[in-house]
């Protein structure tokens, strides 16, 4: 994942180039209707293009309030923990970066934008909000991104896309000019405390059939349930990061000395941590804000998070 290979400090440079909003009323991009009708933009696909054409699409399909007991850190007074379900599609070898807290802001009722922070979730709540990972290039990814909003009832979320150039690196901060360079996605007035259930298909009314001598219809076999990942099983490192085995153990997709990535046993995953921040040896693993796997290194009582293998 290209964004994960570039230090998080570069995001500030890219945000400046792409026109990150200030604490002024956010303006709706050209992709948003000029005269918006009351409602919200959940389920609406947003298309992003570059100098060479379409790059990909992003759709916010659902939003839910995250319960306070799902958070690793206490929720500040007046703030709200929210999770957005995202469908992200890359059409080319360029990567439309997943919308983490560094790509998002929220609008208050007066239209002013405010910064948000990452929400770190308890391990037991992760199945309720499966984390969004970077989509393959090309390819699709679906998942949730959780954040802390300083606005208790935001009216919209503002997303500023970031697309690194094909040759971007730590020594080359080149980004692709994207249109629109910002979208304002209206949110529903009421946000549920749990994700919305999948819609139930409508059932047509039945009528009493007339007697018939037709042979009974052949029976069909239900499709098998999706397999639960197990240690040693081959995985896709570009789309799979963390998983839970059938016995509740933590798994991570990694090469681990093999030419093919496989699921390997891992310490519990606790979310995002800043490189260099303190940690306890041997208790957990984490990701950096840019998606790089992190491990706790050092000595007992004096460990710090650093990029891991």
Residue 216: pLDDT band (50, 70, 90) is: low
The DSSP bridge pattern shows strands 262-265 and 156-159 to be unpaired
Among 149, 167, 186, the domain-final residue is 186
Q: Mean pLDDT in the chain? A: 78
Is 272 within 8 Å of 132 (Cβ atoms)? no
Tokens of 303: 């460990």
Identify the burial level of 62 via C-beta atoms within 10 angstroms of its C-beta, where 0-12 means exposed, 13-18 middle and 19 or more buried.
Answer: middle
The DSSP bridge pattern shows strands 250-254 and 262-265 to be antiparallel
**E runs forming strands in the chain:** 45-50, 53-65, 80-90, 104-107, 113-115, 117-118, 139-149, 156-159, 183-186, 242-244, 250-254, 262-265, 269-272, 278-279, 285-287, 293-299, 302-307
* Nearest residue to 127 via CA among 59, 194, 43: 194
Helix H or strand E encompassing 14: helix 10-18
Identify the burial level of 135 via C-beta atoms within 10 angstroms of its C-beta, where 0-12 means exposed, 13-18 middle and 19 or more buried.
Answer: buried
Q: Does 169 lie in the same domain as 21?
A: yes
Q: Is position 266 within any domain? A: yes
Residue 288: pLDDT band (50, 70, 90) is: confident
Is 118 within 8 Å of 101 (Cβ atoms)? yes
Q: Is position 56 within any domain? A: yes
pTM of the model: 0.55
- Give the whole-angstrom CA distance, residue 101 versus residue 238: 21
Q: Does 262 lie in the same domain as 176?
A: no
What CATH code is carried by the domain that includes residue 49?
Answer: 2.60.40.1240
Q: Does 157 lie in the same domain as 12?
A: yes
- What's the order of all strands across the beta sheet hosting 269-272? 269-272, 285-287, 293-299, 302-307, 278-279
Residue 298 domain boundaries: 242-307
Is 98 within 8 Å of 135 (Cβ atoms)? yes
Question: Does the pLDDT value for residue 22 go beyond 50?
Answer: no
Percent of the chain at pLDDT above 90? 35
The DSSP bridge pattern shows strands 278-279 and 117-118 to be unpaired
- Give the whole-angstrom CA distance, residue 191 versus residue 254: 37
pLDDT for 207 equals: 54
Percent of the chain at pLDDT above 70? 75
Beta bridge partners of 287: 272, 293
Residue 39: pLDDT band (50, 70, 90) is: confident
Indicate the DSSP class of residue 112.
B
Q: Does 144 lie in the same domain as 271?
A: no
Q: Does 90 lie in the same domain as 173?
A: yes
Beta bridge partners of 297: 304
Cβ-based neighbour number of residue 181 at 10 Å: 15
Q: Is position 208 within any domain? A: no
Backbone φ and ψ for 177, nearest 5 degrees, come out as -70, 125
pLDDT tens digits for range 83-139? 999 999 999 999 988 898 889 999 999 989 999 999 999 989 989 999 998 788 889
Q: Does 128 lie in the same domain as 46?
A: yes
Q: In angstroms, how far apart are the furthest CA atoms of the chain?
A: 80
- The residue whose two tokens read 């921040």 is 277
Residue 177: pLDDT band (50, 70, 90) is: very high
> How many structural domains are present in the chain?
2
Residue 191: pLDDT band (50, 70, 90) is: confident
Q: Does 69 lie in the same domain as 134?
A: yes
- Give the whole-angstrom CA distance, residue 194 versus residue 77: 21
Helix (H, G, I), strand (E, B) or coil at 7: coil
Q: Does 277 lie in the same domain as 130?
A: no
| Cis peptide, bond prior to residue 138, ω within 30 of zero | yes
């Amino acid at each position: 994942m290209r964004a994960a290979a570039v230090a998080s400090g570069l995001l500030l440079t890219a945000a400046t180039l792409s026109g990150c909003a200030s604490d002024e009323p956010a303006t709706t991009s050209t992709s948003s209707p000029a005269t918006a009708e009351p409602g919200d933009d959940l389920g609406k696909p947003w298309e992003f293009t570059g100098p060479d054409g379409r790059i990909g699409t992003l759709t916010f399909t659902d939003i839910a309030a995250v319960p306070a007991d799902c958070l690793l850190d206490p929720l500040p007074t007046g703030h709200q923990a929210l999770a957005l379900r995202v469908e992200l599609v890359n059409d080319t070898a360029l990567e439309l970066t997943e919308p983490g807290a560094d790509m998002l802001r929220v609008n208050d009722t007066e239209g002013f934008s405010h910064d948000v922070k990452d929400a770190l979730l308890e391990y037991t709540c992760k199945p309720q909000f499966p984390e969004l990972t970077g989509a393959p290039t090309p390819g699709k990814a679906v998942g949730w991104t959780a954040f802390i909003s300083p606005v208790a009832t935001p009216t919209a979320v503002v997303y500023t896309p970031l697309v690194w150039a094909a040759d971007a690196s730590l020594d080359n901060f080149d980004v692709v000019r994207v249109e629109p360079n910002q979208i304002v996605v209206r949110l529903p007035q009421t946000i549920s405390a749990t994700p919305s259930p999948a819609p139930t298909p409508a059932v047509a009314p039945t009528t009493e059939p007339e007697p018939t001598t037709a042979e009974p219809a052949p029976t069909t076999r239900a499709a098998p349930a999706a397999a639960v990942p197990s240690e040693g099983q081959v995985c896709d490192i570009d789309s799979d990061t963390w998983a839970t085995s059938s016995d509740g153990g933590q798994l991570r997709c990694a090469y681990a000395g093999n030419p093919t990535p496989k699921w390997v046993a891992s310490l519990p995953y606790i979310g995002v941590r800043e490189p260099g921040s303190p940690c306890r040896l041997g208790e957990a693993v984490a990701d950096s804000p840019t998606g790089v796997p992190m491990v706790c290194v050092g000595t007992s009582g004096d460990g710090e998070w650093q990029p891991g293998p």
